[in-house]
Structure 1
Amino acid sequence: MAADDISISFPPASSATDTSLTTTLASIVNTSYATAEAGIWTPGHERTNPDDIASLIQKAQLAVVYDHARSKQPIGCLVYKLISPALSNFGMLALDQAYRSTGIGRRMVVFVEEESRRRGCENCSCELLMPTEFTHEYKERTQKWYEKMGYSVVKVGDFATEYPAFIKYLAGPVEYRIFEKTL
């Protein structure tokens, strides 16, 4: 896979009606998070669904990763939001398993940072749920990965306050770590 074969962009709002796209992306996210958050959620809980993906596309909050060598096939995505004129946020970073450990995840974060600078943001943030009753190796690696890219924990938030509808799906207690990076 050549670097030129991969692109990241915000699809047009009209793509929200493309059920093949929204279903593919929801599947990629749910498959990614089945590993990334194993043991954190109750069995059967899925991170997203095609309707949520469509809504994010309509709001221009979903960046999609495409592989042009595979007929511009979507291979990943991430959510991007402006929190304030000075602060952006990314989350739901997900990539097809076949493309993991290829540097594309880093490119996705760089894309977010460049988009944030373009929009005048001074800082970029992301979050990480960490279980408090067991060591989650994937989450530990993810935190180290964020730190290697210049992100640091700025606070521990209250997940119950931020996402009250999701508390009932947690398998146990979590720490909600919020990271930021000065751009």
Structure 2
Amino acid sequence: MSGEGARTTYVLVDGENIDATLGTSILGRRPLPEERPRWDRVLKFATDEWRQPAKGLFFLAAGAELPMSFIQALTALGYTPIPLSGGPNDKVVDIAIQRTLAAIRERAADVMLLSHDGDFLPQLADLCDGRRVGLVGFREFRNAGFTALAERGLEFFDLEYDVGAFKTSLKRIRVIPIQEFEPADFL
């Protein structure tokens, strides 16, 4: 690995995957603006959790026009927006994230990936070489293939419960560790 200066955590956001999982699998509809993750909380979590600077890269598919208000908001929050285009069947976000994960392997850096997509398994496996590697999302929707990487050091973080990225509870159905069970939540 090469690189100089303080170690960095790269926070790679598969924006479409997180949004689709939130909308389709959790809410059953398109999320309202107030139901979307607070992206600044994600960067703060990464910085605090691993006690080093975090650099956010937000990947999104863009059509002919840029969603400028969203791009400006991401930039103001400290992210580098990466709008991508390609052919109608190109998974441009996945391709770009795969290439970025491969490039990170050449740096003295750590990575947190926000996605549930198993397309990143080979690249994350390559990064489990002693550096810190995290997968952030909704634990019940992550690809099962990631579980095997836990023994190689992959850490798992829940976007709602660990990161605290939402203003209100999403009311997800999940297995609740007894020490976290609060009857008032159900009454």
Give TM-score, length-normalised by structure 2. Answer: 0.37
Higher strand share: 1
Q: Which has the higher contact order (CA 8 A, sep 6+)?
A: 2
Give TM-score, length-normalised by structure 1. Answer: 0.37
